[in-house]
Structure formats: C-alpha cells, structure tokens
Amino acid sequence: MASTTTGKRKGSTCGEQGGVDGDSQSGKATRSSIPDLPEDILFRIHSLLPMREAARTACISPTFFQSWRCHSNLLFTKDTIGLKRGACGENFDDKIDRILRNHSGCLKTFNIDYYGTRGFTGTSYFDRWLQIALKPGIEELTLVLSETKRKYNFPCSLLSAGVRNSLRYLRLQFCALHPTVELGPLRSLKSLYLWRVSITWNELECLIFNSLTLELLDLISCPEIECLKLPCALQRLSALSVLACERLKVIESKAPNLSGLYLCGNWLDFSLVETLPIKELELQQTNLIRDARAKLPSLMPNIETLAIQSSREVVDAPMLPTKFLHLKHLTITVRSGAIVSRAYDYFSLVS
C-alpha cells in the first residue's frame, strides 16, 4: 500500500508527541503517500482499524487525522493508550481527556477500563466524558472503574430518548446506579452487565421493566439486591448469570424464553427459585449435590445441561423417584480439598 516516512522513534505513538490527543495537525510533521481515493472510502477504511492503529495512522495524513476526530469506536485501556502496566491513573485520565476534547462526539462504542492502571484519580472527568459519549447513535457503553471508597454515581439523566433508542450493550463496574421511574424505555438494550454496582432491587426493577428487549442479564457482587423477579414481558431474555450477590434470596422468573442460568454463591435456597423453562444450568455452591438432587428435578424439569461445582461437600444424595427426564449433559466437579463424609460412588448420581 502507501509508503510512509516519519521522524518518530520505533514503537512510539503519536499520543506521546502531542499528535492525536493534542490540537496540532500531526500530518505536518510527516510525509506520506495516500492513495487517491474518495474521502468517504478512506474514512471507512480508517474506521475499521483497531483504536491504537487508527490513532497512529492519523499521524501520517490530514485526511486520517480528520477521520480520527470522529472515530466511532473508542476503547480506552492501558494497552490502547500505550501505558505500561501499573502506570499512574492520572496519566490515563489525561490522555483520555485530551482525546475526547478533540473528538466530534459521534460514537458507537465507548469503553473505559481502568484495569491494570495504578491508582485512581477520582471521578471529576467522568461527567464530561459521558456527556461527549452519550449521544444518539451510541450502541455500546463500558465503564470499568477501580474499587474506591467513593463510587461514581452514574448519571442516568444522560440517558436521553435518543441514547435509549440506540444503546444495545451496557456494562458498569465499581459504580452506583440509581434509575428512577422517570427513566423511560431502553428500546434496543440487549446485554446488561452490572458488576459490583450499588443498586437496590427497586432500582434494578425499574431498569428491567424499561428494557424489554433484554437478552442477557449478568449480576456480580451487587450486595444490595435481595430479590430478583423477572416479568413475563421479558420475551427475549435467554440467559441470566448471578454471582456472589450475598443478600439475594429469591429468584423468580416468568420470562418465557429464559433457557440458561448460572448461579454462584452460598446464599441461595432452591425452594425460593422459580425458573421452570431453564434448559442449561450451572451452579457453584458449597455442599450442593444433595439439594440439587432433591429439589432441581421438580423446580427445573426441562434441564438438558447441568454443571455442578461444589466444595466442602457432605454427600448424601437421596435416591428419589423424581428424575431429570431431559438431561443430556452432566458435569459434577468437587473442588480440591473438599470434605466428604464418606466414600461415595459419584457415578450413582447418573441414575
């Protein structure tokens, strides 16, 4: 393709020299030979590049530099920013801020992930960044913060009607989310991941009832949720994952197409679970095998795939007349170091 000559040292990015994340036209410092193609085709080629490569390419051409300012997929991690592992969070924030200050704001994907950066400089930038990113047309939003004493309160007020109509994927980690009844419907949301998010059941219920196109719900370490009731209006919901939500005691699902369930934790009473359509079930819990054998056949009679992972197991699985009539795949894992009450023939569970 085109031959290029630059004066930068090998391995450097133009962000390190004030190019892509600054205000200067970096193309002035380089010589390039770009094919004589229509601008829209060049923009399209540039949009298909991974973010770091798109930033570097913007250093060699005014056309690509202009395209960079409206690059639709921004994924900020220590790798895409070019920081070494354990780099100061302040440097991470500064680089993101410079890029976003020069961006048009027309985004499809916006991802900020603080994993691998050292320290966390607070939340002063976030409102401004989200005001730039959350515009009609945004499809994916990921905000993975660091664990701090003060969690960032995600501003639901920025979820305008236009944003709610286009947003398909939402992942939040280490923040607070407090939607209200005034939120309005998220007409395109398919995947919702809440990891270590401060949210109550009433607030989550408000979010769920406004997300009727939801296909996947993933909850990890959300300590304020005490019950989870999924309405029959969730016609498209097919997968539910709940891990380490210690206060959660009740799971009730009337979602007609929910077929996959993954539960992990020592908190669940099977008698309080109502998920009859489930076909795939994965469980991780202490001393699990007895309860699974005694209660699951009647609670989830349609299971085809069952995976159980247990520790500190006291195996005394009763031989009961109820059976898994549709079970095709069974995996039982007893973790290393498990305490077993007596020698037990695990293969007898197959019958």
For the chain, the structural domain boundaries read 38-71, 72-214
Condensed to tens digits (0 to 9), the pLDDT of residues 38-63 reads 878 887 887 788 887 887 787 887 88
Which two three-digit tokens encode residue 299? 């609670």
CA distance 13 to 47: 18
CA distance 205 to 283: 24
Condensed to tens digits (0 to 9), the pLDDT of residues 78-123 reads 888 876 665 555 688 888 888 898 888 789 999 999 887 765 556 7
**Cα distance from N-terminal residue to C-terminal residue, the chain:** 64
Condensed to tens digits (0 to 9), the pLDDT of residues 5-38 reads 333 434 444 544 344 454 444 444 444 455 677 8
> Which of 78, 81, 87, 29 is closest to 55 using CA atoms?
81
Q: What is the pTM of this model?
A: 0.81
**What is the predicted pLDDT for the residue at 124?**
76
Condensed to tens digits (0 to 9), the pLDDT of residues 146-165 reads 876 568 999 999 999 999 99
Half-sphere exposure (CA, 13 Å, Cβ side) for 130?
A: 19
CA distances, 289 to each of 251, 264, 344, 349 (Å): 19, 14, 12, 9
> Is there a contact between 52 and 79 (Cβ–Cβ < 8 Å)?
yes
- Non-local (6+) Cβ contacts of 182 within 8 A are none
Which two three-digit tokens encode residue 221? 């370490």
**CATH, range 72-214:** 3.80.10
How many whole angstroms from its chain centre is CA 47? 23
